[in-house]
Amino acid sequence: QMRKYGSRKEGGGGLRNGRSSSASRPGSIDPSSWKYFDSRAVGIPAGAIPRNCMAVLQMLKRKGFEAYLVGGCVRDLLLKRAPKDFDVITTASLKEIKEHVFSRCFIVGNRFPICLVRWRGSLFEVSSFKTNTTQVKGNENVNCSEDTDGRDGGDILRWKDSLRRDFTVNSLFFNPFNHRVYDYVNGVKDLRKNKRCVQ
């Protein structure tokens, strides 16, 4: 299972560092570095997520899909800043999003296609794990069965998606329904160091 962060106070409050996310050999996976923590322990209140954003997440969930906040909005929430926008990622494909959840959304983009969802005056970018995991350079060389035996499939999906993101601090996933923030590339550690570390 994933390890949970410690919660000791350090330098005005912070999280205990985990092990390095660097694997021991090229192309290998180090699941021991995968961590999660309770968002409430770091002061992310439920009210920090706009009602319209929660509605988008709930609608995806009601249709049987997993949905998370991802990227810069999670980083900003951890820094106690008000995010300018909230990006969503889901286990639904873009086609499923349009056909079963948000029929009026628009699918845009060629290299990294997403759904633009307008809900009650707010615009959200919703991406799909099914799109992103096929576009991570080098993923085809990783033997997931060897290094992630017994790991939760959700962890593998989120880990693969984190590999494509530009900075580790933008590779955090937040599920406000179970109050968990997931970290697969030591993004929180880099955030605490005030670094925007390229993976």
Q: Is 183 a catalytic residue?
A: no
Q: In a 3-state reduction of DSSP, which class is residue 119?
A: strand
- Catalytic residue (one of 87, 161, 183, 190): 87
CA neighbor of 88 nearest in space, from 62, 49, 120? 49
Please indicate whether residue 38 is annotated as part of the active site: no
- What string of DSSP letters covers 133-151? GGG-TTGGG--HHHHSTT-
Who's near 146: CB < 8 A, 6+ residues apart?
A: none
Q: For the chain, give the number of residues.
A: 199
Catalytic residue from among 30, 38, 76, 85: 85
Catalytic residues: 85, 87, 166
